[in-house]
């Protein structure tokens, strides 16, 4: 019988001594000098305020409606590292004004590793107490989101993939503007029904109504809200998913009456009928209605507040938006917290940041696409972008972006040509 080939250890000298053999084998590998890895550092934080246009206006109570085209402004935050990589995010010029950038964002970010997102977020969050309310959750979110965009661009990977990656598309629901008094707009239950039919034909998988609010003279009105919800139900059929956002104006008894009305109409969730700072009021409402109650979107307190809503059974579905809780990282914490209770966590609002979170979590059903109105072309591309981040196909699905970072295709030439100021 032929002898088996010798092993590599047997070929070494003094192979009768196991310790010698192991030592000799190890020494056969090429030696490299141990070197501490070099981490990049944030070298620059800057803001570009630029002119753009809008076809929407805000009423005296802050609700969005169609309006004549007019000039407005936007702001782009840029975070750049010493190896030349940059991340970008957009926010209001007021939220990114020089005082906030110089005294908080730069103070925390400059000289730090941009990959230390949690460390930097925690440091900024601590500064909120001493900022005199100047460092808002929205500003915190813009700053943290730029770090995520930088990481994705540097690694040539979409942010939703960096977050874990769960799906490559998400169904959208159409979210209407608040009601108005415009002829052919959203002035009557019939207007809502007609617009709902258009949204179904466009491919939306579900519809959420925002009904009439002040300064409409007769609003809010439980009876009119129920009439609008009933008209939409009749228009789309019994099985189509519908939701209502009542915009927080009602008392407990009014909220119960409205909730019971849309519960009988087979609506899927009931959102924000009362002031969201009263957790106990929502605990009472959830206990007395069968329709699922959606958790808060604007209530301050980040994931701490959402945890209290879940723990006290004030909601049946949690709610989070990147801008509302100070960033992508905190949004993921809320989503995973809800998941641990077998609870859905629906995302408030659209945009690249919220879409990234949706791409990475399993317990959200829809992307909120809006605010929609018969007089507004939502598919029109914003001037500072080359394409929308959330194009919807004919089946009502939003593909997750394949571009690195947040996936926004920014029109840097347009921004450069329309600069108002930089700091």
Indicate the pTM of the whole model. 0.90
- For 229-258, the pLDDT digits (tens) are 999 999 999 999 999 999 888 999 999 999
What is the chain's length?
423
Residue 18 in this model has a pLDDT that exceeds 80: no
Q: What is the pLDDT of residue 34?
A: 55
Tell me the CA distances in angstroms from 389 to 52, 89, 414, one per residue in order: 18, 13, 17
Q: What is the pLDDT of residue 35?
A: 67
Phi-psi region of 351 (alpha: psi -120 to 50; beta: other; left: phi over 0): left
Residue 325 in this model has a pLDDT that exceeds 50: yes
DSSP 58-125: E-TTS-EEEEEEEEEEEEEEEEEETTS-EEEEEE-TTTT-HHHIIIIIHHHHTTS-TT-HHHHHHHHH
- For 185-227, the pLDDT digits (tens) are 999 999 999 999 999 999 999 999 999 999 999 999 999 999 9
Residue 36 in this model has a pLDDT that exceeds 70: no
Instruction: Please state the separation of Cα 409 from the chain's center in Å.
Output: 18
Q: What is the pLDDT of residue 4?
A: 45
- For 81-133, the pLDDT digits (tens) are 999 999 999 999 999 999 999 999 999 999 999 999 999 999 999 999 999 99
Q: What is the pLDDT of residue 39?
A: 87
Mean pLDDT of the chain: 93
Residue 342 in this model has a pLDDT that exceeds 70: yes
Q: What is the pLDDT of residue 3?
A: 47
Mutual angle of helices 252-264 and 222-236, in 10-degree steps: 20
């Amino acid at each position: 019988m032929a002898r088996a080939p010798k092993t590599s250890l047997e070929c070494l000298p003094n192979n009768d001594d196991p310790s010698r053999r192991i030592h000799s084998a190890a020494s056969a590998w090429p030696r490299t000098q141990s070197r501490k890895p070099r981490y990049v550092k944030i070298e620059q934080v800057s803001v570009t305020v630029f002119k753009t246009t809008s076809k929407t206006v805000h009423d005296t109570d802050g609700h969005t409606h169609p309006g004549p085209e007019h000039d407005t402004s936007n702001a782009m935050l840029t975070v750049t590292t010493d190896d030349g990589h940059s991340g970008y995010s957009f926010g209001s010029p007021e939220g990114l004004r020089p005082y906030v950038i110089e005294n908080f964002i730069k103070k925390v970010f400059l000289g730090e590793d941009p990959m230390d997102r949690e460390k930097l977020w925690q440091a900024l969050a601590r500064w909120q107490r001493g900022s005199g309310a100047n460092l808002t959750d929205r500003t915190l979110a813009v700053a943290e989101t730029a770090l995520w965009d930088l990481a994705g661009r540097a690694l040539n990977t979409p942010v939703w993939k960096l977050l874990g990656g769960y799906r490559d598309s998400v169904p959208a629901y159409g979210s209407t503007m608040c009601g108005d008094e415009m002829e052919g707009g959203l002035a009557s239950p019939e207007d809502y029904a007609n617009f709902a039919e258009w949204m179904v034909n466009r491919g939306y998988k579900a519809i959420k109504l925002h009904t009439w609010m002040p300064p409409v003279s007769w609003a809010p009105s439980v009876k009119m809200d129920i009439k609008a919800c009933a008209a939409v139900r009749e228009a789309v059929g019994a099985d189509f998913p519908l939701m209502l956002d009542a915009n927080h104006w009602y008392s407990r008894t009014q909220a119960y009456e409205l909730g019971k009305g849309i519960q009988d109409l087979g609506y899927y969730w009931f959102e924000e009928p009362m002031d969201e700072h009263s957790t106990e009021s929502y605990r009472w409402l959830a206990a007395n209605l069968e329709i699922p109650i959606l958790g808060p979107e604007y209530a301050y307190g980040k994931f701490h507040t959402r945890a209290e809503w879940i723990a006290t059974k004030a909601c049946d579905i949690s709610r989070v938006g990147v801008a509302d809780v100070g960033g992508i990282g905190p949004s993921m914490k809320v989503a995973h917290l809800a998941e641990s209770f077998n609870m859905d966590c629906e995302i408030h609002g659209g945009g690249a940041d919220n879409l990234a979170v949706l791409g990475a979590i399993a317990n959200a059903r829809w992307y909120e696409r809006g605010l929609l109105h018969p007089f507004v072309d939502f598919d029109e591309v914003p001037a500072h972008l080359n394409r929308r981040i959330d194009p919807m196909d004919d089946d009502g699905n939003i593909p997750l972006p394949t571009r690195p970072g947040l996936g926004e295709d920014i029109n840097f030439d347009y921004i450069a040509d329309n600069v108002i100021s930089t700091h």
